[in-house]
């Protein structure tokens, strides 16, 4: 009986030693990581900042990303949008026509169009911290009306939050 317990303990120790030697894989980034993130934007350079999100799709390809801005407004007009747009990743450009809007916000349009979308690395500074950060700009066409959306990438400093 003691011999079986010793063999069992020996096998368990070898198993633990082997599994402890395995290295965790590096998580890596996403296909649109330089264009993804939290953005603080204004519509037509008026009103208060809203948060806009850009992120990779589940396919994780460099030619498509999600754009989500469910809090976007121009005055009393709700511009809540969420949809997949085309991406020219090397040039940090994005656009798409008649994008299906899957935002769950009430009053959202059924489709929207993004034109002249671009992200400029280190194209602006945080409004308070003056930390260099990326800028974003695009023209959002909702029901035939074009809105200019522009802003800056989240800097990580609390003083730069809207």
pLDDT digits (tens, 9 = 90+) for 59-93: 999 999 999 999 998 988 889 999 999 999 999 99
The answer to the question of residue 95 being in a domain is: yes
Number of domains in the chain: 1
The answer to the question of residue 3 being in a domain is: no
**Helices in 29-69 by DSSP H: which ranges?**
none
Q: What is the pLDDT of residue 66?
A: 98
The answer to the question of residue 18 being in a domain is: no
The answer to the question of residue 2 being in a domain is: no
Residues 6+ apart with CB under 8 A from 112: 79, 81, 83, 99, 101, 140, 141, 142
Q: Is the pLDDT of residue 23 over 80?
A: no
- Dig out the tokens for 29 from the structure: 């980034």
Give the structural domain span for 134: 37-160
CATH of the domain at 114: 2.40.128.220
The answer to the question of residue 19 being in a domain is: no
Q: Is the pLDDT of residue 21 over 60?
A: no
């Amino acid at each position: 009986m003691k011999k079986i317990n010793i063999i069992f303990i020996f096998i368990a120790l070898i198993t633990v030693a082997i599994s402890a030697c395995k290295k965790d894989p590096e998580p890596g980034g996403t296909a649109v990581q330089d264009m993804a993130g939290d953005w603080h934007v204004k519509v037509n350079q008026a009103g208060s900042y809203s948060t806009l999100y850009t992120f990779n799709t589940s396919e994780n390809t460099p030619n498509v990303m999600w754009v989500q801005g469910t809090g976007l407004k121009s005055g009393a007009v709700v511009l809540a949008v969420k949809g997949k747009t085309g991406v020219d990743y090397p040039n940090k450009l994005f656009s798409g026509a008649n994008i299906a809007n899957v935002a769950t916000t009430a009053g959202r349009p059924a489709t929207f169009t993004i034109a002249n979308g671009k992200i400029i690395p280190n194209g602006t500074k945080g409004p308070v911290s003056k930390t260099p950060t990326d800028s974003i700009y695009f023209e959002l066409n909702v029901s035939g009306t074009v809105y200019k959306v522009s802003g800056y990438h989240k800097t990580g400093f609390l003083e730069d939050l809207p």
